[in-house]
Structure 1
């Protein structure tokens, strides 16, 4: 009996192999169309694959979209950081360009003022309440800076040293309304020199006032104004500005010229302090009222 069952199993196995080989051979031969079992299995398999693949693709696409959004957010953040850095670098480049131009102009001016012993300095402070009157530079008595030395930029004279400490100095601008802030000046006219004093500043017009010009002097618009060197402290020929208008002074005994300054008093970064090369006279011998005229 057991032997029979063993033989039966062997027979079933052989028959199954024969049927499988037959089916394989049948499926491999060229046919015009599939049999209905094959078609049924194929359609069922395709439907199952489609039913499974769509949710899988949807879920995969969703996670890919989330990942893309995260990447986009990260890239956007990095780009914003780079834009901010670029804006900062552009600002620094502009400042460096401005400083470079100013320093080059000052170096060119230094060659022209070699007889005046120029000393380069940088503005380190300005009082907002006295913006048009005072500024502080980073050079002091340790660097040879003394009271009443002329201070210029590449464009022209801006003022004088009001006081000097060890490492810093205070500069009084020409636009200061201090009545003792007077500069002996000269108008370069054709064939002659016309003298006067820079006294005061018109805030509304942004012009310096050159007073005490002789009433019979022929002053014209566009003439250059320079330091005369007659005050005993400032060197001669430091550029101040140009005449833009001339009006009679009080009582008609003298004239007053409005002078457009060559330097920009509002925006000052780099300056030069110049020491007069010639022997300086004693101011007490020049003025009786003890007022300071430079």
Structure 2
């Protein structure tokens, strides 16, 4: 009896091995339809792979998007700098054309109101309560900065120096409520139109150009630059573009609303403009 049960176990083991080998061989064959167990195993394995693959692809895509954003940011920065340069160049070209016409009749012109040098500086202080009025820069008398010098950014005029110390200077913005803060300006076009940048509309966020004669025709989009005739600022510093025009309350002059080229709220680096010709009051004294 014990031998019979032992032989029976061997027979069952051999049969099981034969069935197992057959199943393995059957599963390894190439066929279009697979069995239910194989389908189940493949589905489970595939689901596990998808769980791993999706986050992996997502992470790879995320870093790829970051790289694309970096490239896009760099390209946009270059394009913006070129556009800003083109806007300034457009105003300078328009002004040069006018000067060339005058130079045909004046052959001995030796000085140019347009000539200036710049002193690079950084904003080191700005009072939150007077954000639209003044700020302090890290250059002063020791660096050649003096009162009444124009201050610009890469986009355009922002204000002028009102006080200096050996190491710092205080700059008053064009948006200041100070009525004495005036800039002699000119609207470029076929006809020369002069006026004063004096005032700011905080609701519209536009500068006010006043004292424009009523007979002058002004169009929206015309360029506005410094005239160079105020005795302080050089000629053709970029101020902005005409947005709209209206009569003053007395009906004697026109007021132009100017969209400024520069941003007055957010900037860190500015340039102090040193006029090469010097101030007109110094010139007048020399002539006397």
Bucket of the pairwise TM-score, normalised by the shorter protein: 0.5 to 0.7
Contact 2:114–2:228 at 8 Å: present in 1 too?
no
Larger radius of gyration: 1
Q: How does 1:165-204 map to 2 (within 5 A)?
A: 165-189=165-189, 191-204=190-203
Aligned pairs, number = 201
- In 2, the alpha carbon distance for the partners of 1:246 and 1:270 equals 32
When the two chains are superposed, the root-mean-square deviation of aligned CA atoms in Å is 3.8
- In 2, the alpha carbon distance for the partners of 1:104 and 1:138 equals 25
Q: How does 1:71-110 map to 2 (within 5 A)?
A: none
- In 2, the alpha carbon distance for the partners of 1:270 and 1:216 equals 40
Q: How does 1:54-65 map to 2 (within 5 A)?
A: none
Structure 1: runs of 5 or more not aligned: 1-26, 35-85, 287-294
SS of residue matched to 2:115: helix
Deviations for 1:260-288, whole angstroms, at most 9, x for unmatched residues? 000010111111111111132218979xx
Query: Which residue matches 1:249?
Result: 248
- In 2, the alpha carbon distance for the partners of 1:284 and 1:108 equals 32
Distance 1:207 1:184, change over 3 A: same
Deviations for 1:142-185, whole angstroms, at most 9, x for unmatched residues? 11111111001111100001111121111100000101100000
Structure 2: runs of 5 or more not aligned: 10-62, 93-112
TM-score, with length taken from structure 2: 0.61
Query: Which residue matches 1:156?
Result: 156
Q: 4+ runs of 1 displaced by more than 3 Å?
A: 107-115, 283-286
Is 1:238 the counterpart of 2:213 in the alignment? no
- In 2, the alpha carbon distance for the partners of 1:261 and 1:104 equals 17
Query: Which residue matches 1:225?
Result: 224
TM-score, with length taken from structure 1: 0.60
